[in-house]
Chains A and B, each alone.
Chain A
């Protein structure tokens, strides 16, 4: 007769760790321990990034992590420890991402920013990265406050919002999704750090998306902006989050059943993968830009918290495609690849 211990040992032995398509366990994809406040929304997002990249079977050396400055910008150290990371300057992550992804177009770029980093100092670079359709996953970990510098209002803080030390905000907020749309972003989504399933589906879709993928993820700051009345708090988010559809991501190597159900809509991405959208209320067509504008603006005026994929356009060439570079990364080119011939120089000298 086996003891409890023996039965536990047998059960433990029978449990094989799950591995992804390239044979790696999820623990391989972790980073260092977080030094953020316990309960911070950003740590949930980091966990979602780990899950998503692991499940997609991406080797970490192909991924680069980029960030600006802020609490959210610290997080790249806490996921994908085997990926190169660049914690750059406040509001300047997009330019660094642009240079890095151009120098090596085989890399997958995950950019992490915050509402200060993106909507204040970084608003210009954010807009231009969107405009260029830079193929980067652009995550804004949005908590409506400046956490790292201890509690000032950000540009996504709502008018009338009250913060303990900063007082009352008398300025209207910027809506990151609307700003992205106006800048011609080709993938615009909003989610909530508390909605793990949706965040992961969106992350996977973003990674597979052809161009810039803007994810505005409301990520509560437990220290400075988590009181129930704040529309960036866990309580408010949980009570008011209204997904416009239920999202599933199907990677290109999996079979998909395209059924003619009218409560489902599928969008195929350039790389062959699929996003499946199950309608929850009205039928939302994310390829309709005008509808995206109307939906977002109406929600903004009504103070509603809609989440989901508001807009996607996978038809538009991305910045790297437009540059028409050789397939090998620029960073890997040798003297022989780049140095024009002696005759070429002679000819130029002759022409001058």
Chain B
């Protein structure tokens, strides 16, 4: 048995986290505290006994995310953990991570909002905020673990994606998953090498005769190459800034440069669609209706589907595990008369996102949203579906 936050901490530790900064807030503090509890033994250099990581308790969430960006910029696998009020404070740096393309990870252990909300109750109310956090045209990769095992795995996936895509990755857990104890299968030892992304070393630069551009799309996937501070080559250095820049990271106010940059960022975001964890789909041939959901609603949905099956109603199920969506979601939705988008928030945030991204399916998508601080029950789901 384990809680999701401890699982996340272990996942980070086993997947190369080197920098954590955080500010205490319910219900995310226990994630950083678990790191502080496990890492001293697990991440001790065998020869010197010194730490192969650093954890800093910041003075507030603005500093916490600033530290994450500084560390990610310099080549660490860096993360913070917070909750709703924290991500509001992090929005300026979130936009910078997106626009200046800096690998960074934010775990948002969601609680009830808006505002201070109910700090000790669960919810899934940060989906819209996380997806678009930051002024201007901003978009982030968001991961949705549903179990402690997925918290463990997605801790690693988040770093791999952050470094591969050179961007901010959110992992949206919630209080129910994060702080309660769950029975779990054993976690699998991570076999795959860590993905560190497109980083040019001094040798790489030498081989290229120093030719490169920090925001130049060489490979056509929207993902440029970067160098790390400390690289010993005369052409390694570049300037990171949130203001307009051209492909060589020089300051630019030219319209063409600005637009081309945003077009490339969109291309990069499209590349992300197939790199992020794909939805888990359980299709039943007889089913005319389906459920889309995410995160810790999983168990209640399983129970609801059983109850409905007992009264002769088959329901297919797609569990979304990340944004942005790929065509897998629209292909799924196309096969059903009605698709119930089930979520633990008041405004039906995932429903809104799906409407925006699949307007052709608007007629099929039905919002089933509730937010009263309690996890969603199977009865709530069956009643919504049976009308």
In the complex, chain A residues whose CB is within 8 Å of the CB of B187: 345, 349
A residues at B contact (CB < 8 Å): 59-62, 64, 66, 76-77, 81-89, 92, 94-104, 106-107, 124-125, 128, 323-327, 329-333, 335, 337-340, 342, 344-345, 348-349, 352
A24 to chain B, nearest CB (A): 10
| Interface size band for B | 35 or more
Q: Specify which chain B residues have a CB less than 8 angstroms from the CB of A89 in the assembled complex.
A: 66, 92-93, 96, 242
Which residues on A sit within 8 Å (CB–CB) of B60? 124
- Chain A residues in 8 Å Cβ range of B241: 86-87
Asked if A59 and B232 make an inter-chain contact with CB atoms under 8 angstroms apart, the answer reads yes
Q: Is the interface of A mostly helix, strand, loop or mixed?
A: helix
Q: State the CA gap A339–B230 with chains docked (Å).
A: 24
Residues of B within 8 A of A59 (CB): 232
List the B residue with the shortest CB-CB distance to A337: B52
Q: Which residue of B lies closest to A66 (CB)?
A: B70
For chain B, residues 58 to 103, give those with C-beta under 8 angstroms from any C-beta of chain A: 58-60, 62-76, 78, 92-93, 96
Q: Which residues of A contact B54 (CB under 8 A)?
A: 102, 323, 325, 330
**B232 engages A323 (CB within 8 Å):** no
| B53 interfacial by beta-carbon distance below 8 Å | yes
Closest chain A residue to B190 by CB distance? A339
Assess whether B207 is interfacial by the CB under 8 Å rule. Answer: no
Q: How far is the CA of A125 from the CA of B64 in the complex (A)?
A: 11
User: Nearest Cβ in chain A — how far from B13, in angstroms?
Assistant: 7
In the complex, A246→B285 CA distance in Å? 87
CB of A107 within 8 A of CB of B230, answer yes
Report Cα–Cα, A125/B65, bound state, in Å.
12
Q: Which of chain B's residues have a CB closer than 8 A to the CB of A124? A: 59-60, 63
Tell me whether B69 and A96 are in contact (CB under 8 A). Answer: yes
Whether B51 pairs with A323 at a CB distance below 8 angstroms is yes
B15-23, B261-269, B345-353, B371-379: which lies at the interface: B15-23
Residue pair B230, A62 in contact (C-beta under 8 Å) = yes
- 25 residue pairs A–B, Cβ–Cβ below 8 Å: A64-B74, A82-B236, A84-B239, A86-B240, A87-B242, A89-B96, A95-B58, A95-B65, A95-B67, A98-B21, A98-B56, A99-B67, A99-B68, A99-B71, A100-B71, A102-B71, A103-B72, A104-B230, A125-B62, A325-B54, A330-B19, A333-B52, A339-B194, A340-B14, A349-B186
Closest chain B residue to A74, Cβ basis: B251
Contact of A77 among B13, B21, B236, B239 (CB under 8 A): B239
B75 near A125 (CB under 8 angstroms)? no
Among the listed B16, B56, B232, B238, which residue makes an inter-chain contact with A339, where contact means beta carbons less than 8 Å apart?
B16
Measured CA separation A30–B96 after assembly (Å): 27
B69 / chain A contacts, CB cutoff of 8 Å:
88, 96, 99
Is B330 part of the binding interface, using a Cβ–Cβ cutoff of 8 Å? Answer: no
Q: How far is the CA of A97 from the CA of B51 in the complex (A)?
A: 20
Stretch at the interface among B25-33, B41-49, B116-124, B314-322: B41-49
Assess A331 versus B18: contact at CB under 8 Å? Given A89-B66, A89-B242, A340-B13.
Answer: yes
Question: Bound state CA distance, A74 and B21, in angstroms?
Answer: 27
What would 19 more interface pairs be, CB under 8 Å, given A104-B229, A330-B19, A339-B14?
A59-B232, A61-B236, A85-B237, A89-B96, A92-B66, A92-B92, A94-B66, A96-B70, A98-B63, A99-B67, A324-B51, A325-B50, A326-B52, A327-B50, A338-B16, A338-B52, A344-B42, A345-B187, A348-B38
